[in-house]
Amino acid sequence: DLSHWFYESVDIAKYLQEGKNVVAAEVVNWGPNRSFSYFSQMVSFILQGNSETENIVNTLADSWKCLHNRAVYPKIVDWIFDRSTIDFGLYIGNPTDSIIGNQYPWGWETADYDDSAWLPARWADVAGGRGTQHAGGILYSGGKLLVPRRAPILKERRIPFQKIRRVSGIEKDEGFILSTKPLVIKPNSKVSILIDNEELTMGYPEMLVSGGKNAKIQAMYAENLIVKNKAPKGNRNEIEGKYMVGIKDVFIPDGGENRLFKPTYIRTFRYIQLDIETKDEALTLDNYYHVECRAPLDLKAEFSTGSELTDWIMDAGWRTVSLCAQDYLMSDAYYEQLQYVGDSRVHNLVLFTLSGDDRLTRNALQQFDQSRIPEGLTLACYPNAFYLVIPSYSLIWIDQIYDYMMWRDDKAFISQFELGIQNVLYWFEQKMQPNGLMGKMEWWGALAWPRHYQNGEPPSIYEGNNTLYTLHYAYTLRHAAAIFEFMGKREKADWCRRRADHICNSVNRLCKNKDGFYIESPQHFKVSQITNLMAILADAVTGNEARLLMERLLEPKDWFGQVDLFLHLYLFEAMNKTGFQDHFLSELTEWQLMKERGMTTFAEVPLEWGEENQRSECHPWS
């Protein structure tokens, strides 16, 4: 955000050569329709070398030249009405690109480029260090306060596409995607080429072309093919009777040689469809390859059972979490690309387990802390420029700090969150009623997408006395107690434990039926799977009684409030707590179905609940 604007420190020595060198930068702003995860305050650029020999490259007044590249236009993604682009559901990523080749300043980044027509860059005093403000610095609202980048710089890797599955208007020839032979498309032709990468990926597909003046090259990207809008997609490996919908880039070549077209932002895909229409000049596709982009995380864990399912889970699971580890922890690869508090709890636990790398985890915990609104709650996702508050996600932020504490002996880092934890707990404490249950909830009262919950919300959430939210508060109070204990705050820890015990006693007195199940509120008698799991986790029920309840919750049936893929985290935690670890494999039917469907990453919602509801196919919360 503007008050925590990251800068990077880069050693460019290895790129310099004897003689003439050029330092060039492309600054991109996608305008008012940019991704929700991007803040913006003027288009600006700062480069600063901190020694006398380095300051020759500094962005001082009149030291740099600039050009507004009018060859690149944003293509707005109309996710509401355009069913040829988005099958269904929300899309809030960046616009795609339309690039007009005859307006492009080809070679602008090379040492021999003639920049005599470029204008001197204007000085803009819009940034400064957070710790060194002074008169003449930022004395107005909206400036960027600079802090060092916390997350690692992304790693790029050039890899070839796997195969061409379908063509029309031309003979099939894979040479141009394998870097062995250019593909020539005749003048006045219409060609379609379907490329299958065989696994989902993220990055920057790069196309090198020659000739083909005024041809139109459209590249469409999708996670899968569809039979029709909002319908089951079947096996992702099968293409017969299916077609693509997806976001699109458009390139218009100028007829020159070796023109490189690449998107301005990462693209997510398994399939790419090229639709090409030439004019009076033949077009040569010299090369087309993928530059994969992700955080530099290493897979260190191994897990081998000889089971095809668990082997697939390890492979697809690592691909899911590592692809969505970018500058921050993305909730999904294609549609929203936001850092949600809830989603990132699973994301962080998997990264700790499989990689041990905590850099993105630490960044996420700090950004959520920075998102807190005056009332004390965190935003549901951050960074973002809109106001989305899901109170349960503020509790999950505390749960994540607890997770971090259990993996890292890092009192100094955790201590910075003490005030934020207290503010969140205070907000919830003000909602508690004399009867010991949570009162009327504000904002969006969801947790995730439990089955049969309307809009993800439990019954009575806006009336008060809701059991799930009351138990979640008690569950988080116990985590907060452990955190305060770790920080040496014994009095605060004791208060949290006593409060959690009192709340659980109230729930047992008011929200438990004669069969031993927890109901949704004293006025709503339905039995929810997630609510009863939370009762186990909050220690409302313990010992043999908790084990008996867990056994009943594992009965295969269509539960009200049945756990979705994200909420399996709480199912597995409750199973582990009550000694039902041997039932783990039997609870993996959803992942078995993903494997059978030919998926290479984890879906967002359970396929068993109706695949027509499946949107994102790369979702770390699963």
325-374 per-position pLDDT tens digit: 999 999 999 999 999 999 999 999 999 999 999 999 999 999 999 999 99
Same domain (yes/no): 160, 281: yes
With bands split at pLDDT 50, 70 and 90, how would you rate the model's confidence at 579?
very high
Mean pLDDT of 470-492: 98
Same domain (yes/no): 145, 205: no
Mean pLDDT of 406-426: 97
Query: SS3 for 120?
Result: strand
With bands split at pLDDT 50, 70 and 90, how would you rate the model's confidence at 142?
low
- Which residue type is seen at 616? S
With bands split at pLDDT 50, 70 and 90, how would you rate the model's confidence at 132?
low
- Out of 239, 260, 294, a domain closes at 294
Q: Is the peptide bond before 205 cis (omega within 30 degrees of 0)?
A: no
List the domain range (segments joined by +) for residue 250. Answer: 155-294
Mean pLDDT of 170-189: 96
Handedness of CA 534, 535, 536, 537 (dihedral sign): positive
pLDDT by residue (tens digit) across 216-254?
999 999 999 999 988 889 999 999 999 999 999 999 999
- Out of 261, 294, 327, a domain closes at 294
The Cα–Cα gap between 164 and 196 comes to: 6
User: What contacts 491, CB < 8 A, 6 or more positions away?
Assistant: none
> In this structure, are residues 605 and 613 in contact, taking their beta carbons and an 8 Å threshold?
yes
- Closest CA relative to residue 538, chosen from 509, 508, 575, 500: 500
Question: Would the pLDDT of 32 be above 90?
Answer: no
Question: Would the pLDDT of 135 be above 60?
Answer: no
Mean pLDDT of 404-413: 96
Same domain (yes/no): 131, 219: no
> In this structure, are residues 246 and 77 in contact, taking their beta carbons and an 8 Å threshold?
no
Report the pLDDT value the prediction gives residue 136, as an integer from 0 to 100: 47
- Closest CA relative to residue 91, chosen from 155, 33, 18: 33
The Cα–Cα gap between 254 and 149 comes to: 38
Task: Give me Rg for the CA atoms of the chain.
Answer: 27
Same domain (yes/no): 564, 582: yes
Provide, rounded to the nearest whole percent, the portion of the chain with pLDDT above 70: 98
Report the pLDDT value the prediction gives residue 134, as an integer from 0 to 100: 54
Same domain (yes/no): 141, 260: no
Helix 391-407, helix 359-370: angle, nearest 10:
150
16 exposed, middle or buried (CB, 10 Å; 0-12, 13-18, 19+)?
exposed
In a domain, 197, yes or no: yes
- Within 10 A of 343 (CB to CB), how many other CB atoms are there? 27
pLDDT by residue (tens digit) across 541-550?
999 999 999 9
Same domain (yes/no): 133, 165: no
Helices H / strands E in the chain, number of each = 12, 18
The Cα–Cα gap between 331 and 321 comes to: 9
Q: What is the mean pLDDT of the chain?
A: 94
Same domain (yes/no): 24, 139: yes
> In this structure, are residues 397 and 368 in contact, taking their beta carbons and an 8 Å threshold?
yes
The Cα–Cα gap between 325 and 510 comes to: 43
Same domain (yes/no): 134, 228: no
Q: How far is CA 106 from CA 100, 109, 205, in A?
A: 11, 8, 19
Mean pLDDT of 82-94: 90
Mean pLDDT of 61-66: 85
Mean pLDDT of 189-210: 98
With bands split at pLDDT 50, 70 and 90, how would you rate the model's confidence at 534?
very high
CATH number of the structural domain spanning residue 289: 2.60.120.260
Report the pLDDT value the prediction gives residue 229, as an integer from 0 to 100: 87
In a domain, 336, yes or no: no
Question: Would the pLDDT of 530 be above 70?
Answer: yes
In a domain, 485, yes or no: yes
In a domain, 492, yes or no: yes
3-state helix vs strand vs coil in the chain, percent to 5? 30, 20, 50
> In this structure, are residues 196 and 271 in contact, taking their beta carbons and an 8 Å threshold?
yes
Report the pLDDT value the prediction gives residue 227, as an integer from 0 to 100: 93
Mean pLDDT of 508-537: 97
User: What contacts 116, CB < 8 A, 6 or more positions away?
Assistant: none
State how many domains the chain has.
Answer: 3
Least confident among 1-15, 330-344, 521-535, 591-605: 1-15
Report the pLDDT value the prediction gives residue 290, as an integer from 0 to 100: 97
The Cα–Cα gap between 414 and 32 comes to: 36
Mean pLDDT of 446-463: 93
Q: How far is CA 202 from CA 84, 96, 292, 347, 594, in A?
A: 21, 14, 6, 17, 20
Provide, rounded to the nearest whole percent, the portion of the chain with pLDDT above 90: 83
Report the pLDDT value the prediction gives residue 141, as an integer from 0 to 100: 53
Same domain (yes/no): 61, 209: no
Give the CA-trace dihedral at 232, 237, 238, 243, to 10 degrees.
Answer: 70
In a domain, 507, yes or no: yes
In a domain, 334, yes or no: no
Kindly provide the residue ranges of all beta strands, DSSP E only, lying in 464-505, ordered along the sequence: none
Residue 61: HSE in the Cβ half-sphere, 13 Å Cα cutoff: 3
- Phi then psi dihedrals of residue 497, to 5 deg: -65, -45
Same domain (yes/no): 131, 244: no
CATH number of the structural domain spanning residue 571: 1.50.10.10
> In this structure, are residues 437 and 509 in contact, taking their beta carbons and an 8 Å threshold?
no
Same domain (yes/no): 175, 142: no
The Cα–Cα gap between 506 and 501 comes to: 9
Mean pLDDT of 285-305: 96
> In this structure, are residues 153 and 6 in contact, taking their beta carbons and an 8 Å threshold?
no
Report the pLDDT value the prediction gives residue 41, as an integer from 0 to 100: 77
**In which element (H, E) is residue 57 found?**
none
- Closest CA relative to residue 321, chosen from 341, 345, 303: 345
Report the pLDDT value the prediction gives residue 392, as an integer from 0 to 100: 97
CA 442 to chain centre: 26
Mean pLDDT of 289-295: 97
In a domain, 413, yes or no: no
Same domain (yes/no): 582, 440: yes
pLDDT higher at 112 or 134:
112
293 exposed, middle or buried (CB, 10 Å; 0-12, 13-18, 19+)?
middle
- Out of 266, 294, 322, a domain closes at 294
Is this model's pTM higher than 0.85 or not?
yes
Copy the structure tokens of residue 167: 């063509």
In a domain, 316, yes or no: no
Mean pLDDT of 107-114: 94
Q: Which residue pairs from 579-588 have beta carbons closer than 8 angstroms and sit at least 24 positions apart in sequence?
A: 579/547, 580/547, 580/550, 580/551, 580/554, 583/554, 585/307, 585/309, 585/310, 587/554, 588/309, 588/313
